[in-house]
Amino acid sequence: MRAPERRAQLLQVARRAFGASGYHAVSMEAVAREAGVTKPILYDHFPSKKDLYLALIDADLATLHEHVQRALASPAGNRERIRASFQAYFDFVDDHAEGFRLLMQETVGAEAEFRTRVERTREQIMSDVADLIVRESKGTLDREHAEIVALGLIGMVETVAQREPSASKRRRQEAIEVLVRLAWRGITQLTP
């Protein structure tokens, strides 16, 4: 296996292991064994368990941020942008359940470096959403208030998306539609 493919495989195995047991309960030996490689091969790619975990967090954060940015850049109109960005969160939870669980755990975790990585991406997403709100409100909502709204939207969708990860696809789509109606009605009432 070539190095990039091996790295991707190791991250996938680590995501499952850390997602199931948490950072402190997983050893590099366990990840290597699960991946079917020797520890030296694992250490060739990741010099330490912390480096492995940080690479995993960074990969998942980049994926989530990319999906949300793509949704916000959609030319389909503001209500559709809201729907698409909410869908991006739900899709991330569905497609990367272990990764999302890790990210949410790290928002309150004891490791400052892990928490900082997650907070930085959350701030970037919040800033992207606030930029859109300020731009689309055509100056009737200032940056400070737009950031409050953006943070509320992010918290709302994260909470609902992680609440029922095993819910049916239909039920999850219904949840997205309820959130879109709530957000749309709230946002449209913010501006005079």
Distance CA 29, CA 17 (A): 11
Q: Cite the residue boundaries of each domain of the chain with CATH code 1.10.357.10.
A: 50-190
Q: What is the CATH number of domain 1-47?
A: 1.10.10.60
Nearest to 92 by CA among 129, 52, 59: 59
pTM: 0.79
| pLDDT given at position 165 | 62
| pLDDT given at position 166 | 65
Task: Kindly list the averaged pLDDT for each block of 10 residues, start to end, along the chain of length 192.
Answer: 90 88 88 94 94 90 90 83 88 78 66 83 90 82 89 88 74 88 78 58
88, 71 contact by CB (below 8 A)? yes
Instruction: Please determine, looking at this structure, whether the domain spanning 50-190 carries the CATH number 1.10.357.10.
Output: yes
Q: Cite the residue boundaries of each domain of the chain with CATH code 1.10.10.60.
A: 1-47
| pLDDT given at position 172 | 84
